[in-house]
């Protein structure tokens, strides 16, 4: 009996140790976790992918795609299960609204780039999860935006580097802070657009994935 108790104790200790070493996979989509003002996640370089972006770019065209397959939610919950959650504009075509936000933000973010290599940006939005009214006027959360970015030569149409998967997280104000921001003109749309403009500048400054 004593031997069985020792074996059971060893097994329990090993199980606890294993659980503590497993990464918190759910934390990536946790709605109210402390999120840095700028947070980017990229995949590891493709095996053998040696292409890098030129250091002197000029963006000649921006193609933004927001697939209709992305699920939209207008539910006023703390954290709706959907690909697109957006309350920064009146109810309407959320796919079109998100597309316009990306187009204008990326245009603004690249307008001062006067490099020697003309490029085209292909952008596919895969997630645009902002906060609902219920969340914004209580505890706040995170504007979580994800997209795929491909930079192509405007001359040849060929990619200049592997497609990047970018995740950008911006803290969403809550309660009085959200109300005060609106009064200063720092609406959700203004903040998200300015942030995405900064995101694209930083992405294009990075030579490779």
- Which pTM was predicted? 0.76
* 201, 57 Cβ separation under 8 angstroms: no
Cβ atoms of 136 and 189 closer than 8 Å: no
pLDDT in tens, 64-117: 999 999 999 999 999 999 999 999 999 999 999 999 999 999 999 999 999 999
Mean pLDDT of 6-23: 38
Query: What digits encode the pLDDT tens for the residues 115-168?
Result: 999 999 999 999 999 999 999 999 999 999 999 999 999 999 999 999 999 999
Q: What pLDDT is recorded for position 208?
A: 64
Query: Could you give all domains of the chain from N- to C-terminal order, each with its CATH number?
Result: 34-205 (3.40.50)
User: With contact defined as beta carbons under 8 Å apart, do 38 and 201 qualify?
Assistant: no
């Amino acid at each position: 009996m004593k031997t069985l108790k020792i074996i059971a104790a060893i097994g329990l200790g090993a199980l606890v140790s294993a659980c503590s070493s497993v990464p918190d996979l759910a934390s990536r989509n946790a709605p109210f976790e402390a999120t840095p003002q700028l947070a980017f996640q990229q995949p590891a370089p493709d095996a053998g992918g040696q292409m890098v972006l030129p250091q002197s770019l000029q963006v000649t065209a921006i193609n933004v795609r927001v697939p209709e397959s992305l699920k939209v939610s207008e539910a006023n919950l703390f954290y709706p299960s959907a690909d697109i959650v957006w309350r920064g504009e009146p109810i309407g075509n959320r796919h079109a609204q998100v597309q316009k936000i990306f187009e204008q933000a990326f245009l603004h973010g690249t307008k001062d780039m006067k490099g020697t290599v003309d490029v085209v940006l292909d952008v596919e939005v895969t997630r645009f999860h902002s906060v609902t009214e219920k969340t914004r006027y209580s505890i706040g959360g995170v504007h979580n935006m994800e997209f795929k970015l491909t930079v192509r030569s405007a001359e040849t149409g060929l990619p200049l580097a592997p497609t990047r998967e970018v995740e950008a997280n911006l803290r969403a104000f809550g309660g009085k802070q959200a109300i005060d921001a609106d009064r200063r003109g720092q609406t959700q749309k203004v903040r998200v657009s300015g942030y995405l403009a900064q995101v694209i500048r930083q992405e294009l400054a990075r030579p490779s994935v």
